[in-house]
Amino acid sequence: MQKVYLDNAATTQVRDEVIARMQEALAVYYGNPSSTHSFGRSAKTAVEKARKTIAKILNAQPSEIIFTSGGTEADNMILRCAVRDLGIKTIITSKIEHHAVLHTVEELEKEYGIAVYFVDLDQYGNPDMGHLKELLGQDDSKKLVSLMHVNNEIGNITDIGAISDICKAHGALFHSDTVQSVGHYPWDVQEISIDFFTAAAHKFHGPKGVGFAFIRKNSGLKPMIFGGAQERGFRAGTESFHNIVGLEEAFIRSYDQLEEETEKVRGLKAYFVEKIKKEIPGVEFNGFSGDMENSTYTLTSVRLPFDKEKGLMLLFHLDMKGIACSKGSACQSGSNLGSHVLTEILDTKELEKPSLRFSFSKYNSKEELDYAIKVLKEFAES
């Protein structure tokens, strides 16, 4: 049976070079980075080198990069510390954010009594900039805006440059969950007035369990995890050294090969979009995911012309044929509630049709896409 992995928005295959770098770290540089002997100093030097490498690519300062266990921790840390330490009284977000943001904001509302507002979305899931300005200008409370760059389910690209300018004009802080875009798009933090953003290595061919938060210098945030002086005192706990150097290797290679790999993956998505439209009449795309300009090149979300009963067996059928894809976010796989993103942008009739997210990487081929669409077509005709 052919095996085809088309769930790269959930996680990606780790690069061979990353695995080799991590193996070296585990075998050779096993000292605690906080130890003062030579074993510890070697590990500490590598951690700080990784921080400097990432900062240079982002045009940031090394002190602005804080290593975390991934995007969820980074989002939690930034939002919680902003409310606790910076006097944030109002958070403005959207109803299609990742749950790492939405659930954190819900808890902050309960714990601190902050005001929470959701920016209006159009039928495709794009934020209404006029409404954002209205929300920012409605009172004098200290505000934070949290809007993701690339939506993890429908792939819409939000204009975070425009949002950062709007926030700056209104004296608000701006946080973005950029887990689906870091490693796939160029970044320059000197050109965008963003205060905080997040990344996870496993979204760009690095290891799971490591990521980072970008926290603009002199932000005023204080530690959320207390203990030792690791991460400049901001995040206590022995650094996951092998994961950090794996993150660095994946980050370097993603940006060294960004143009070449983007072109390949963009070509795969364009091929998939055109072929599925041809082979399965009536297929539709959720959000802007079928649009090559307004959605990320890494994924598409399709709504298939099957009834609800037939749709229940679709994901199981694909899995039995060796095809990995997703109904939506992998973080939602244990939930029976369905996609909160699609619920916001689709009507009741559209929601009855099965939706699948297909996401692509440098390791995929057109032959694999042909096979996936062939299986879908056979299922449609059965």
341 neighbors 96 (Cβ within 8 angstroms): yes
Please give the class, per CATH, of domain 4-12+258-381: alpha beta
30 neighbors 39 (Cβ within 8 angstroms): yes
Q: How wide is the angle at C-alpha 283 spanned by C-alphas 307 and 9, nearest 5°?
A: 100
105 neighbors 91 (Cβ within 8 angstroms): yes
The identity of residue 77, as a single letter, is M
Q: Please state the φ and ψ torsions of residue 311, each to the nearest 5 degrees.
A: -65, -25
Rounded to a whole number of angstroms, the distance between the first and last alpha carbons of the chain is 20
> Cα separations (Å) of 343 from 128, 288, 328, 347?
18, 15, 12, 7
pLDDT at 218: 94
d(CA 102, CA 186): 26
pLDDT at 336: 54
pLDDT at 328: 59
pLDDT at 116: 98
Q: How many CB atoms lie within 10 A of CB 281?
A: 8
Model-level pTM?
0.94
Tokens 């039995």, residue?
320
Tokens 């039928």, residue?
123
For the chain, the domains span: 4-12+258-381, 16-256
- In terms of Cα–Cα distance, which of 48, 18, 42 is closest to 29? 42
- In terms of Cα–Cα distance, which of 107, 48, 69, 60 is closest to 236? 69
HSE-CB for 360 with a 13 A CA cutoff: 29
105 neighbors 117 (Cβ within 8 angstroms): no
State the catalytic residues.
331
CA–centroid distance for 230 within its chain:
25
Q: How many CB atoms lie within 10 A of CB 31?
A: 17
d(CA 251, CA 102): 27
d(CA 246, CA 11): 15
Tens place of pLDDT for every residue, the chain, 382 residues?
A: 799 999 999 999 999 999 999 999 999 989 999 999 999 999 999 999 999 999 999 999 999 999 999 999 999 999 999 999 999 999 999 999 999 999 999 999 999 999 999 999 999 999 999 999 999 999 999 999 999 999 999 999 999 999 999 999 999 999 999 999 999 999 999 999 999 999 999 999 999 999 999 999 999 999 989 999 899 888 999 999 999 999 999 999 999 999 999 999 999 999 999 999 999 999 999 999 999 999 999 999 999 999 888 888 899 999 999 999 998 544 545 445 689 999 999 999 999 999 999 999 999 999 999 999 999 999 998 8
Beta pairing partners, 326: 357
- The matching CATH number, chosen from 3.40.190.10, 3.40.640.10, 3.30.70.20, 3.40.50.720, for 16-256 is 3.40.640.10
Q: Please state the φ and ψ torsions of residue 88, each to the nearest 5 degrees.
A: -65, 125
Q: How wide is the angle at C-alpha 142 spanned by C-alphas 136 and 145, nearest 5°?
A: 50
Burial of 179 (0-12, 13-18, 19+ CB in 10 A): buried
d(CA 26, CA 104): 34
Helices assigned H by DSSP within 137-240: 160-169
